[in-house]
Structures are given as C-alpha cells and as structure tokens.
Amino acid sequence: MNKQQKEIIKKINQAYGKLRFLDHITWTSYREDLLDMNKKDEKRHRSGNWYEFHKNSASITECSKMFVVSNIAESLLNTNKHTIKDLINIRKSCLYAQSVVENYKDKILEAWKDEDINYLSNLDYMSLVNWESYKELKEKRVA
C-alpha cells in the first residue's frame, strides 16, 4: 500500500464515517446494509485466481466502503442514473444506494457538506487494488 492509496482510504473512511446516521434513521441500518452487499460482491470477485491483481491491495472492507461512498456520491450527482431495468446489469448495491439518496438526500448533503462529492463519485477501484495498473490506465485515458 503506497502513500496515495493510504490517502484515498483516509478520505473514504472519513466520508463513510459521516454516513453513520444512516444506521439510526429507521430500524434498517442502511449504511451497514450497503457495506454488507459490497463485501459479499467483493469476496465473490476476489475468489478464484485473482491474487496477482490484488497484491498489496486495500482490504475487502476498504474496497467495499469505497463502493458505498462512491455509489452514494454518484446518486447525489445523478438521482436518475439507474432504473429498474438496470437491476440485472449492475450491482444491486447501486440501486440500494440510489434509493437511500432518494429518501435521505438532504441529510446526506448536510453530513457531507465538507466533502468533495465529485471526488467521491469518481473513486476508482483500480487505485485501491493495483496502483501500477491504475497509473497505466490513467495515462492511456489522458493520451
């Protein structure tokens, strides 16, 4: 884990922590439900022969928090990003995050008033699991 990855994880944990209130609005722990969904998906993704791509990578929990934060941020910027048709094509946590935002947008915006929502919505999974591949992809996008 390099310095840049540690800084990204710090920002993810900060934003994730500010969503704590989502676990106490109703009897449903929305933030933890999203984390559990993403952990399940990440464990499934990492099963098999993927070790070489995840050397020195962020943990399953850290990557799962990244998805929680980025999906909520994306939904804040585009509340109509997904439709029911997307359910079979995307991670179910994306729709769940969009629903949480639809229901609690004002409270999330208040909690994240000091966060850069654009930055959070553009978090890249590759930056946490394989820094070298991430840099190569980033350079190709610029070229």
* Digit-coded pLDDT (tens) for 34-78: 999 999 998 888 887 666 667 678 899 999 999 999 999 999 999
pLDDT tens-place string over residues 70-104: 999 999 999 888 888 888 888 899 999 999 999 99
Q: How many CB atoms lie within 10 A of CB 126?
A: 16
What phi and psi, each to the nearest 5 degrees, are found at residue 83?
A: -125, 175
The model carries a pTM of 0.90
DSSP state of 58: P
Residue-level pLDDT at 143: 65
Give me the number of domains the chain comprises.
1
- Domain residues for the domain of 127 are 3-142
Alpha-carbon span 137 to 106, nearest angstrom: 35
